[in-house]
Amino acid sequence: MAKDKNADKRHEYNLSILYTEQAYDELQAETQQLNTSFDELEQNLTRSFQVLQALEDEEATLSGRTSSFSEVSARKQFVMKGIQNQKEELNSDYNKSKQILEDRREQLQKERDTLSWD
C-alpha cells in the first residue's frame, strides 16, 4: 500500500489548527474572567459609594443642610463610566483577537483541504 504523500503536511496543519483552537479557547476563558472581574469590581464600588453616600447624607442631616446631587454621586458616575469604557475597549480587543484566530483557523483548514490524498 502506498503512503499518502501529504500525510505529514496534513498532520502539521491539524496540529496548527488544534493550537489555534486552543488559543481561541484561552482567549474566550480570559474574556469571561475579565468580565467577571469587572462585574465584581462594579459591585464592590457600588457598595462603597453607597456607604459614602450614607455618610454624606448623615453629615448633611447633622449639619442641617439638605442633600442634593452630591459629589459622591458625581464621582460614582465618573468612575463607573470609566470602568464601563475600559470593559468595552478590552472586550473589543479580545473580540478582534478572537476573530484573527478564527480567520487563521479557517485559512489553515482551507490549505489542509487542498492537499491531495495521494
Neighbours of 107 (CB within 10 A): 13
Provide the pLDDT confidence category of residue 90 given band limits of 50, 70 and 90: very high
CA–CA gap between residue 38 and residue 91 (Å, rounded): 11
**Dihedral (CA of 10, 15, 20, 24) sign:** positive
Q: Is residue 66 part of a domain?
A: no
Q: Nearest-CA neighbor of 115 among 36, 2, 6?
A: 6
Burial of 101 (0-12, 13-18, 19+ CB in 10 A): buried
Q: Is residue 67 part of a domain?
A: no
Q: Is residue 42 part of a domain?
A: yes
Q: Is residue 16 part of a domain?
A: yes
Domain that holds residue 81: 7-59+73-111
Is pLDDT at 85 greater than 80 in this prediction?
yes
pLDDT tens profile 97-114: 999 999 999 999 999 999
For residue 21, give the C-alpha cell.
483552537
Q: Is residue 40 part of a domain?
A: yes
Q: Is residue 46 part of a domain?
A: yes
Is pLDDT at 63 greater than 80 in this prediction?
yes
- What is the pLDDT at residue 67? 64
Name the domain count of the chain.
Answer: 1
pTM over 0.85: no
